[in-house]
Amino acid sequence: MLLLDLKKNNRQLIEDHFFSLCCDTYVEGKLEGGQSVADEKLSNLDISNYSKKRNNVLPEHQRGSSYLSPYIRHGLISLIDVWKRVESFQYEDKSKFRDELLWQEFSRHLYAIIGKKSNKALNFKVTTDRKLDLNLTNNMNCISHIKKELENTGYIVNQTRMWFASHFGLRNHENWETHEDYMFKHLLDGSRFSNRLGWQWVMGNQTGKVYGFAKNQVQNRAKELCNSCELKYNCPIESWPNVASIDQVNQNFNLDILNNFGPQTVVKDVNNFPEYVWITGESLGDNDPALKFYADLPVIFIFDEKLLNLIKVSTKRIIFILQTLKELNEKRELKVYIGDPIKILKDKKISVTFAPVPKYKFISKNIKPIVEFPAIRLVKPIDFYPSSFSSWRKKANLNL
Ligand SMILES: Cc1cc2nc3c(=O)[nH]c(=O)nc-3n(C[C@H](O)[C@H](O)[C@H](O)COP(=O)(O)OP(=O)(O)OC[C@H]3O[C@@H](n4cnc5c(N)ncnc54)[C@H](O)[C@@H]3O)c2cc1C
């Protein structure tokens, strides 16, 4: 177990403690962490013309994306905050944008139910004729541009996430998880729920319909990449890959709401008082229910060493989290550790907000919180398997 000295600068912290736990040495992402940055981005949010501009890729200034995702992903702003913030915008933009917020919530619901099984084909297993040797595509400007942007900034727009996933998931999908993992590592907003759902959706595993990627999309959305590509007249992706087979997958999941979504009201051990607030990577914001309620208690955050060693995220993500924690440290007494959460939390009386991810569920089974708050949700928990976004949406009960 190691206690981090938050007075050190980020480069020092990364060099001293994260060197062997990350996939790169030191890269700062495009978006800075911290509650004040998140609040400012939310307050300046302008979704005018979102419905028309959302899919734009290049030039960058014509993009309609909000760039809010890392703040939403780490709980610095909630989907409810964002939902309410766009109330005054035009119907067309507001409804398209809110639809995307619902996709985010859908991915969380799905993950709460399927957890680690999210890397297996969901409802369909689709295969394509796999004609393309991916080595032949190394010189494609579109794919190398996406990789460069992802590695250098930690952010790519939804459209290029779909291209990338389609390219590596459908043209030769034997190792799609390796490419999904690569994307997850480098995204500042990388989450297993949204990333895996994105890949599964593109590959047709959810709906039975694939999202194909070919030259045409690049020409429509980022023409300059085609124009300057050495393969312009010899493009290896002139058309979509052909679907060879679609097999249905039968699913059977535990649908118990408490097990999947955690408590719906605050759960307390009435004989004890918490001494610390434990915050997780899912909920780092000032409005985290446990953090807010116990405003005077010291706070603990733990970089799970074993997990980091396994997933090896980019230093971009660690820096984003450090920036957030350093700001919190100015307002609250905070201890940041690297180590095994179970060992560090053992014998500590903690209050925490439930996080619907497998690791949290595992830790909180071993370390019983004295007070556990429900997670903040845009849509109320469900007791059915959501096989598609549209079927889920019809039954979605907003929590506003
Ligand atoms: C292959 C693939 C992988 C993805 N991986 C992730 C991931 O790891 N983490 C992640 O947060 N999102 C992921 N997404 C969803 C989406 O691409 C990003 O949320 C979005 O691009 C983030 O940029 P933004 O905040 O500027 O989006 P905006 O377009 O401004 O949308 C606002 C918010 O709505 C939500 N949202 C938008 N589009 C989607 C979507 N298709 N699915 C789910 N939520 C959405 C996000 O919370 C986003 O911040 C993935 C999509 C695909 C196709």
Q: What pLDDT, on a 0 to 100 scale, did the predictor assign at position 60?
A: 96
Instruction: Tell how far the Cα of 70 is from the centroid of ligand 1, in angstroms.
Output: 9
Q: Which atom of ligand 1 is nearest to the CA of 199?
A: 1
What pLDDT digit, counting tens, does each position of 45-78 carry?
Answer: 999 999 999 999 999 999 999 999 999 999 999 9
Is 288's pLDDT higher than 90?
yes
Threshold 0.85, pTM exceeds: yes
Q: What pLDDT, on a 0 to 100 scale, did the predictor assign at position 136?
A: 74
The 3-state DSSP class for residue 388 equals: coil
The torsion angle over the Cα atoms of residues 134, 202, 200 and 303, rounded to 10 degrees, is 80
Phi and psi, residue 301, nearest 5°: -130, 140
What are the angstrom distances between the C-alpha of 104 and each of 14, 194, 382, 389?
30, 7, 15, 10
Q: What pLDDT, on a 0 to 100 scale, did the predictor assign at position 275?
A: 98
Instruction: Tell how far the Cα of 149 is from the centroid of ligand 1, in angstroms.
Output: 16
What pLDDT digit, counting tens, does each position of 232-244 carry?
Answer: 999 999 998 889 8
Is 381's pLDDT higher than 90?
yes
Q: What pLDDT, on a 0 to 100 scale, did the predictor assign at position 251?
A: 86
Give the list of residues 6+ apart from residue 276 with CB closer than 8 angstroms, or none: 297, 298, 299, 300, 348, 349, 350, 351
Whose Cα sits closest to atom 38 in ligand 1? 100
Within the chain, which residue ranges are assigned CATH 1.10.579.10?
Answer: 121-248
Instruction: Quote the mean pLDDT of the chain.
Output: 96
Domain 121-248's class?
mainly alpha
Torsion sign over Cα 73, 314, 41, 63: negative
Within the chain, which residue ranges are assigned CATH 1.25.40.80?
Answer: 35-113
pLDDT band at 155 (very low <50, low <70, confident <90, very high): very high
What pLDDT digit, counting tens, does each position of 349-373 carry?
Answer: 999 999 999 999 999 999 999 999 9
d(CA 202, CA 170): 8
pLDDT band at 137 (very low <50, low <70, confident <90, very high): confident
Q: What pLDDT, on a 0 to 100 scale, did the predictor assign at position 1?
A: 85
Whose structure tokens read 């109320």?
A: 380
> To test the ligand 1 pocket, which listed residue (52, 108, 161, 193) has its Cβ within 8 A of the most ligand atoms?
161
What pLDDT digit, counting tens, does each position of 83-92 carry?
Answer: 999 999 999 9
Is 140's pLDDT higher than 80?
yes
Instruction: Tell how far the Cα of 137 is from the centroid of ligand 1, in angstroms.
Output: 26
Instruction: Tell how far the Cα of 258 is from the centroid of ligand 1, in angstroms.
Output: 27
Is 131's pLDDT higher than 80?
no
Q: Which atom of ligand 1 is nearest to the CA of 71?
A: 49
More confident position, 279 or 135? 279
Is 258's pLDDT higher than 90?
yes
> To test the ligand 1 pocket, which listed residue (74, 100, 205) has its Cβ within 8 A of the most ligand atoms?
100
Picking from 132-146, 246-260, 295-309, 332-346, which range would have the lowest pLDDT averaged per residue?
132-146
> To test the ligand 1 pocket, which listed residue (156, 158, 161) has its Cβ within 8 A of the most ligand atoms?
158
d(CA 11, CA 70): 21
Within the chain, which residue ranges are assigned CATH 3.40.50.620?
Answer: 2-23+258-373
**Is 341 within 8 Å of 302 (Cβ atoms)?**
yes
CATH topology classification for 2-23+258-373: Rossmann fold (3.40.50)
Query: Distance from first CA to last CA of the chain, Å, rounded?
Result: 41
Ligand 1 pocket by Cβ (under 6 Å): 54, 65-69, 72-73, 100-101, 103-104, 107, 157-158, 161-162, 165, 187, 189-191, 194-195, 198-199, 202
Instruction: Tell how far the Cα of 106 is from the centroid of ligand 1, in angstroms.
Output: 12
Whose Cα sits closest to atom 5 in ligand 1? 195
CATH of domain 35-113: 1.25.40.80
Q: Cα 365 to chain center, whole Å?
A: 24
What pLDDT digit, counting tens, does each position of 173-193 carry?
Answer: 778 999 999 999 999 999 999
